[in-house]
Amino acid sequence: MNLKVIVALALVVVAALVGVSSFRKTVTPYISFAEARKASGMVQVNGTLADKQYVLKQQEQYLSFRLKDDKGEVLPVEFRGVIPGNFDQATSIVAIGRYHEGRFEADQLLVKCPSKYQAEAEKARNKT
């Protein structure tokens, strides 16, 4: 084989390995609350708002709430950053961060709210 071909193939293999390695480092898996308490790195947990008794300090960009998973387990969450405007309407919340000293410290919050089309369909059903 030609030396140029061997070098080119080696570079392609190295580039592929670096790409796969970088991709695996950026993937944040969904895990249970129990697994989040034991995890050492960034993870994602999801659930619903356990109750409406959350602490929101808009000026300080601080939010503290309790997240409930589908098994009924509750996890205290703290978030510092831009608070999603539709947080109190969320049907599902994804918190990305790490567990530290008795609470989940979220770096990111993703909220899923009911679709405006769902609301319109419910209004139509209630009229009948």
pTM of the model: 0.68
Name the one residue in this structure whose structure tokens are 């084989």: 1
Name the one residue in this structure whose structure tokens are 């193939």: 9
Question: CA-to-CA distance for 24 and 59, rounded, in angstroms?
Answer: 36
Cross-strand bridge partners of residue 30: 44
Rounded alpha-carbon distances, angstroms, from residue 56 to 3, 31, 63: 64, 26, 5
Q: Where are the alpha helices (DSSP H) in the chain?
A: 3-26, 33-38, 116-127
- Decide: helix, strand or coil at residue 125: helix
pLDDT, tens only, 58-99 = 889 999 999 999 888 999 999 999 888 888 788 899 999 999
pLDDT, tens only, 6-54 = 888 888 888 888 877 776 656 666 788 989 899 888 889 999 988 888 9
